[in-house]
A = this chain, B = another copy of it.
Amino acid sequence: MSSVTIKDVARLAGVSPSTVSRVISNHPKISPATKKKVREAMEALGYHPNIMAQSLVSKNTQTLGLVLPHSAEKIFVNPFFSEVLRGMLAYANIKQYDILMSSANNPKEEIEAVTRMVLGRRIDGIILMAPRQKDPIVEKLLEYQFPFVLLGRSMEHDHVLSVNNDNIKAAYDITNHLIKQGHKRIGFVSGPPDLVVSIDRLEGYKKALLEAGLPVHPDWIIGEDVLQGNAFHALTMIMNSPEPPTAFVVTDDVVAFGLIRELYAAGFHVPQDVSIVSFNNIVLSELSNPPITTVDIGIYHLGYLTVQHLIRKLSGEEIEKPQMIVPHRLIIRESSMKLQ
């Protein structure tokens, strides 16, 4: 692993270092002859530009930062995450960008990680996943005037770059699907309450109920910790009440898996006793037993467009609409089969 520099190439090609530099960056006025000579020398020596040195002077790094949401949300984010990352990397790859990841165990570390990346000038822009209400990182980045994109949306700032689903509409649509099936008592299983996505989906659910003249029953809105069994008690309470829900809108496929399992353990079958619909359409939702009715939010696409949006901004393109919306569609499966 030799360390061949631009000077070595210059020497071998019999030109000056700056000429080599020009060849690298495809400078227009460079004679075909020398270009060829230099290319050959680079090839012969196995030259690759030192990216640190390039960045130091050019002030850009061809790198995007991504902070992994901290563990509190791990279950919520889990299978979604690798798919969205695939989409991100796919576009980044096209544009020769890499993605620098950092993790954090709590909001404080999260800020630190971002600060280190941004002020350490390691990245050109940053991708924020799962933004919260009044998200401190968003505020910080705004303050730094550092380019970033949200996978999700900001509730406070509508001029920030973001790629999102219309989660209110999505929740509204999927809830209406249940209503059309004849359900009148519909519960909701929420995600972490400070995530914007949780708030939006809850709102869409409520909107559909209200429009249909159905009651919004606060006791039927439960936390996502059913999966851990913490809310098992709450669930049995609800299900053993005189008039239990006949359906649930669940904020995430993984949570839906858990819920189906908990219901089963409590003696309730899906969809015979209770219907389940959820969000994301992760691969496994189709392979669930029963297969889960869900909202396909285009996870891969979401990741892909997020990076595209950010890179466009970085290359100085005029962004007509900062808020991009990725369309969703309902995938109707067995878990919400029509009531007889």
Contact = CB atoms under 8 A, between A and B. Distances in A.
A135 interface: no
Contact of A287 (B52, B98, B260): B260
Interface stretch (A9-17, A53-61, A175-183, A186-194): A53-61
A139 interface: no
B289 A49 contact: no
How many residues of A sit at the interface, in one of the four size bands? 35 or more
A104 B100 contact: no
A134 interface: no
A331 interface: no
A120 interface: yes
Interface string A107-140: 0010001011111111000000000000000000
In the complex, the count of this chain's copies comes to 2
Interface stretch (A89-97, A230-238, A316-324): A89-97
Contacts of A93: 102-105, 109, 113
A82 interface: yes
A171 interface: no
Interface stretch (A73-81, A152-160, A161-169, A208-216): A73-81
A235 to B, nearest CB: 15
A1 interface: yes
B68 A121 contact: no
The listed residue with most B CB atoms (<10 A of its CB), out of A86, A89, A284, is: A284
B283 A284 contact: no
Interface in A242-262: 254, 257-258, 260-261
Interface of A: 1, 3, 46, 48-53, 55-56, 61, 63, 68, 71, 74-75, 77-79, 81-83, 85-86, 89-90, 92-93, 98-105, 109, 113, 115-122, 144-146, 227, 254, 257-258, 260-261, 264, 283-284, 286-289, 291
8 contacts: A46-B119, A48-B116, A74-B86, A79-B284, A98-B101, A100-B101, A258-B287, A261-B291
